[in-house]
Amino acid sequence: MGNIAEDFLIAAEIKAFETDHRRIINNNIDKYDAAFDKGISRMANLEHAKKKGHSIKWKVMENLDKFLPEFEANFQKRGGKVIWANDAEEANREILNIIQKANAKTVIKSKSMATEEIHLNEFLEKHEIESLESDLGEYIVQLLGQKPYHIVTPAMHLSKEDIAKLFNERFGSPIDSTPEQLTQKAREILREKYMQADVGITGANFLVADTGSICITENEGNARLTTSFPKIHIAVVGIEKMIPSIADLDLFWPMLSTHGTGQNLTVYNTILSGPRQPNETDGPEEMYVVLLDNGRTNLLAQKDQRQGLYCIRCGACLNVCPVYKNIGGHTYDTTYSGPIGSVITPHMRGMEEFKHLSFASSLCGKCTEVCPVKIDIHKMLLLNRRDAVNEGLPAMKEKWGWAGWKKGMLKRSLTDFFSGKTKNWLMRTFFKKSWGHYKEMPEVAPKSFSQQWKDQHKQGE
């Protein structure tokens, strides 16, 4: 077992017994559940919408080689520039080039998991460029020096009191500030920053091939400010975010908002199709889209697990997952946590280091049930386990254990060779640790069924 897997198990055990953490996250997820139930009850034919979403995303992934150039050509027509980045290093280097060429020193950002994935903030800081998050949740976790806890609600693990305490320490706001007062304080600080920032960096929820546009969904309006105040706008977007046509937003926008937050539609939905045009009053002078691969084509090459790329990052599978609800988002130590993170991370970052995530599941199937694009998430986890075995990655002890078990099970004399007592001793000695010390080991009966059958027949004679 590698260190990443060991660290995961240790962190999971600690987190699972932190009662405060459980209280806060359960409270926040309960609120989400109520909003989600209300949100989906308003959808006329949810099952049909999910199937449609799945088939559109299927078409995109099977034809990504055509949709990406189509997007690029259309985006360029209106003066946008497209940058293709194979990995985090390429993406960061290209972004830094743009910033340095413009002699820029400050960047304002809106929420983007793709930029988390490439560790853009840390990279820019190293090059003495201030990069400030403007989404309230992201801003809070940035102040704390943490990573987002959840792909939709980055500060889900914090209570109102935690945030009031943070703002009191950092900005001297009253310790009993209300959420409105805290938001107001953040707003005051951030408004100033929009005016100063030379470059705005965002992600995007969708790339639209037929119009060459990016779409950003948000509730705070900060992404609109990020994309309109600074002279340069850079959007970092995973290549899987593609949808064929602007007409498809009719389906994907409400599906994302109902499953993400329970809203019919999020408050601000923006379509950007290039920099400011000569007849327009706002918008940046330059606009770039960084099309990020960073392991996505590895997943695309997996015929069985390719559908992991259909994900629209609504976060619904995280909110229903019994494992996520107990161990929390930070424990995974990956950009994408929860069930979908466990599916895609081993392909994007390496099966050997991240195969353990495929086991961080009860396989209850709730993730699959809620997914708005019908990704067969729990089956994907099983397929990842299969791949790990086929690649010979399980630990030697596990391989020997299964080989011995198979040999024994195929021959009756071998199965009955050891007494029940010896079998129990062997199991306790070799498998107790992997079985888990909170679970009781199963007890093997003193005699096997076949031995008992023979004994009873002898008595009957």
Q: Which is nearer to ligand SF4, 173 or 258 (CB)?
A: 258
Q: Which is nearer to ligand SF4, 25 or 124 (CB)?
A: 25
53 binds ligand SF4 (CB under 6 A): no
Q: Which is nearer to ligand SF4, 260 or 284 (CB)?
A: 260
107 vs 380, beta carbon nearer ligand SF4: 380
Task: Mark 370-389 with x for binding to ligand SF4 (rule: CB under 6 A) and - for no binding.
Answer: xxxx-x-x------------
Q: What single string gives the DSSP state of each residue in 262-320?
A: S-SS-SEEEEE-SS--TT-SSS-SEEEEEEE-TTHHHHHT-TTTGGGGG-----HHHHH
Task: Report the alpha-carbon distance of residue 313 to residue 309 in Å, rounded.
Answer: 10
- The DSSP string of 40-65 is HHT-TTHHHHHHHHHHHHHHHHHTHH
- Which helix (H) or strand (E) segment holds residue 105: the answer is none
Residue 47 Cβ vs ligand SF4, minimum distance, rounded to whole Å: 15
Dihedral sign of CA atoms 448, 454, 457, 461 in order: negative
Q: How far is the CB of 366 from ligand SF4 (least distance, A)?
A: 10
- The DSSP secondary structure of 393-450, one letter per residue, reads -S-HHHHHHHHHHHHHHH-HHHHTTS-HHHHHHHHHHHHHHHH-TTSPPPPPPSS-HH
Shortest Cβ 381–ligand SF4 spacing (Å): 12
- Taking the complex as a whole, the smallest distance from the CB of residue 142 to ligand SF4 amounts, in Å, to 23
State both tokens at 18. Answer: 């932190």
Whole-number Å distance between alpha carbons of 314 and 104: 33
- Tell me which of 49, 91, 316, 357 binds ligand SF4, using CB under 6 A: 316
Distance CA 263, CA 315 (A): 14
Q: Which of 203, 295, 315, 328 binds ligand SF4 (CB under 6 A)?
A: 315
CB of 8 to ligand SF4, least distance (A): 20
Q: Which stretch binds ligand SF4 (CB under 6 A): 91-99, 114-122, 228-236, 305-313?
A: 305-313
Sole window of 154-162, 313-321, 408-416, 436-444 interacting with ligand SF4 (rule: CB under 6 A): 313-321
Task: Report in angstroms how near the CB of residue 209 gets to ligand SF4 at its nearest.
Answer: 20
Nearest Cα to 252, choosing from 292, 223, 216, 304? 216
Distance CA 343, CA 278 (A): 45
Q: What value, to the nearest 5°, has the Cα angle with vertex 58 and ends 294 and 32? A: 75
Q: Which residues fall within 8 angstroms of residue 128, CB to CB, at 6 or more apart?
A: 105
The stretch near ligand SF4 (CB under 6 A) out of 6-14, 113-121, 309-317, 449-457 is 309-317
DSSP 8-state secondary structure symbol assigned to residue 374? -
Q: Name which of 224 and 259 has its Cβ closer to ligand SF4.
A: 259
- Region of 87-95, 101-109, 142-150, 365-373 interacting with ligand SF4 (CB under 6 A): 365-373
The interface region with ligand SF4, picked from 24-32, 240-248, 272-280, 306-314 by CB under 6 A, is 306-314
Q: How far is the CB of 223 from ligand SF4 (least distance, A)?
A: 19
Cβ of residue 290: shortest distance to ligand SF4, in angstroms? 21
Instruction: Report residue 380 as tokens.
Output: 């994907």
Q: What are phi and psi of 303, to 5 degrees?
A: -60, -40
Identify residues 237-266 at the interface with ligand SF4 (CB under 6 A): 259
Closest separation in Å from C-beta 316 to ligand SF4: 4
* CA-wise closest residue to 186 among 216, 129, 141: 141
Question: Count residues contacting ligand SF4 (CB under 6 A)?
Answer: 15
The residue from 29, 60, 314, 348 that contacts ligand SF4 (CB under 6 A) is 314
Q: Contact residues for ligand SF4 (CB under 6 A)? A: 259, 311-317, 340, 370-373, 375, 377
